């Protein structure tokens, strides 16, 4: 009768996805690595997140010349330590699920692999080391540990607002790109290569820098006509700035209102929720509703 427990989970459930072994060491390992509800699982996840944060710090610090000169070898050693630890974790993850291939091809599976590959790859091509930063994506796990149900609710609402506005924003972006191409071409003609507008792509780069109000100042109009066109474009861009803001805001305000309704009235006959404050009969079963009371 009560079909609430069978509701499809919105988030990601490793249990359903990858399968949990029935017995033995693999089951124990699974409980530690994949489950966040048990004490051991929570400790493991916390240690993992701290390790990831420290390893990202090492990658970032290693890119600073003065630090690399003094602590270069320590950094390299630490980096190899992290890589081996994460590699071991990756193998353990693969080993303790029923469907390793499903894990390897899942979002986090790919991220986990990509977060160790650069170190090995850097043995061949040294520049690859900086891509160890991809580890930051692993931090998305953090939301799982902290059991931030509230945060997740906000996240879900943000995502819904963005998805609901997605189409409008796409239409809007396509209009912006057209404006960028047209203004870029016009400025390329008006200002010309001698003022820094060396090609249409360069002029489009300038148009984006200007319309987004970033305004580096590395390319600026020098002719009077160019300055007039640029001024017009800035005012246009400024007005346009209002559009995507308005889109998302209206969407979020509408979601908030939509979200508030379900918490109001419940039908005593069929237990359906979300009736309007002024409704007199249940819109699901037609039973007369008790008077609405503001609490």
Residue in 59, 75, 96, 97 binding its own copies, rule: CB under 8 A: 59
Q: Is 151 strand, coil or helix?
A: helix
To the nearest whole angstrom, how small is the minimum distance from the Cβ of residue 288 to its own copies? 6
To the nearest whole angstrom, how small is the minimum distance from the Cβ of residue 44 to its own copies? 22
Residue in 21, 100, 196, 244 binding its own copies, rule: CB under 8 A: 244
Name 226's Cβ contacts closer than 8 Å, sequence gap at least 6. 187, 190, 191, 195
- Are the C-beta atoms of 103 and 97 separated by less than 8 Å? yes
Give the Cβ contact number of residue 73 at 10 Å.
Answer: 9
Q: Kindly state whether residue 133 participates in binding its own copies, applying the rule CB under 8 A.
A: yes
Q: Kindly state whether residue 111 participates in binding its own copies, applying the rule CB under 8 A.
A: no
Q: Kindly state whether residue 13 participates in binding its own copies, applying the rule CB under 8 A.
A: no
Q: Kindly state whether residue 275 participates in binding its own copies, applying the rule CB under 8 A.
A: yes
Residue 31, judged by CB atoms within 10 A of its CB (0-12, 13-18, 19+), counts as: middle
Q: Kindly state whether residue 97 participates in binding its own copies, applying the rule CB under 8 A.
A: no
In the chain, alpha helices (H): 14-18, 24-34, 39-62, 65-96, 100-104, 107-114, 117-122, 142-145, 149-191, 200-211, 224-260
Q: Kindly state whether residue 7 participates in binding its own copies, applying the rule CB under 8 A.
A: no
Q: Kindly state whether residue 118 participates in binding its own copies, applying the rule CB under 8 A.
A: no
Nearer to its own copies, 25 or 243 (CB): 243
Q: List C-alpha distances in Å: 249 to 43, 246, 259.
A: 39, 5, 15
To the nearest whole angstrom, how small is the minimum distance from the Cβ of residue 120 to its own copies? 18
Give the Cβ contact number of residue 48 at 10 Å.
Answer: 19
Nearer to its own copies, 92 or 146 (CB): 146
Q: Kindly state whether residue 48 participates in binding its own copies, applying the rule CB under 8 A.
A: no
Of residues 62 through 81, those in contact with its own copies by CB under 8 A are 63-65
Nearer to its own copies, 29 or 289 (CB): 289
Of residues 135 through 174, those in contact with its own copies by CB under 8 A are 136-137, 139, 150-151, 154-155, 157-158, 161-162, 167-173
Of residues 253 through 272, those in contact with its own copies by CB under 8 A are 253-257, 260-262, 271
Q: Kindly state whether residue 124 participates in binding its own copies, applying the rule CB under 8 A.
A: no
Residue in 36, 49, 130, 146 binding its own copies, rule: CB under 8 A: 130
Nearer to its own copies, 32 or 200 (CB): 200
Torsion of CA 46, 52, 57, 58, to 10 degrees: 130
DSSP 4-60: STTSPPSS--HHHHH---SSHHHHHHHHHHH-SSSHHHHHHHHHHHHHHHHHHHHHH
- Are the C-beta atoms of 281 and 287 separated by less than 8 Å? yes
Of residues 181 through 240, those in contact with its own copies by CB under 8 A are 181-182, 185, 188-189, 193, 198-202, 204-205, 208-210, 212-218, 220, 224, 227-228, 230-231, 234-235, 237-239
Nearer to its own copies, 94 or 250 (CB): 250
């Amino acid at each position: 009768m009560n079909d609430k427990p069978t509701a499809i989970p919105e988030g990601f459930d490793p249990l359903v996805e990858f399968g949990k072994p029935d017995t033995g060491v693999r089951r124990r390992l699974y409980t530690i690595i994949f489950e966040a509800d048990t004490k051991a699982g929570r400790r493991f996840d916390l240690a993992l997140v701290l390790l990831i944060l420290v390893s990202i710090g090492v990658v970032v610090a290693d890119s600073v010349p003065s630090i690399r000169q003094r602590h270069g070898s320590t950094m390299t050693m630490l980096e190899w330590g992290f890589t081996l630890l994460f590699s071991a974790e990756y193998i353990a993850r693969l080993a303790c699920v029923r469907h390793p291939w499903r894990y390897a091809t899942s979002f986090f599976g790919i991220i986990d692999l990509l977060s160790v590959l650069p170190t090995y790859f850097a043995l061949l091509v040294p520049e690859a080391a900086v891509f160890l930063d991809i580890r930051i994506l692993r931090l998305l796990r953090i939301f799982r540990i902290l059991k931030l149900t509230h945060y997740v609710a906000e996240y879900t609402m943000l995502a819904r607002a963005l998805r609901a506005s997605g189409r409008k924003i796409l239409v809007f972006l396509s209009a912006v790109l057209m404006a960028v191409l047209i203004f870029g071409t016009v400025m390329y003609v008006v200002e010309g290569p001698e003022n820094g507008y060396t090609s249409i792509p360069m002029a489009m780069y300038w148009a984006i820098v200007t319309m987004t109000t970033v305004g580096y100042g590395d390319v600026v109009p020098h002719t009077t006509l160019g300055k007039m066109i640029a001024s017009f474009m800035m005012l246009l861009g400024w007005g346009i700035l209002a559009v995507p803001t308005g889109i998302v805001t209206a969407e979020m305000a509408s979601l908030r209102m939509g979200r508030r309704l379900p918490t109001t009235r419940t039908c005593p006959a069929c237990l359906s929720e979300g009736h309007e404050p002024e409704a007199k009969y249940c819109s699901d079963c037609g039973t007369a509703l008790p008077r609405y009371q503001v609490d």
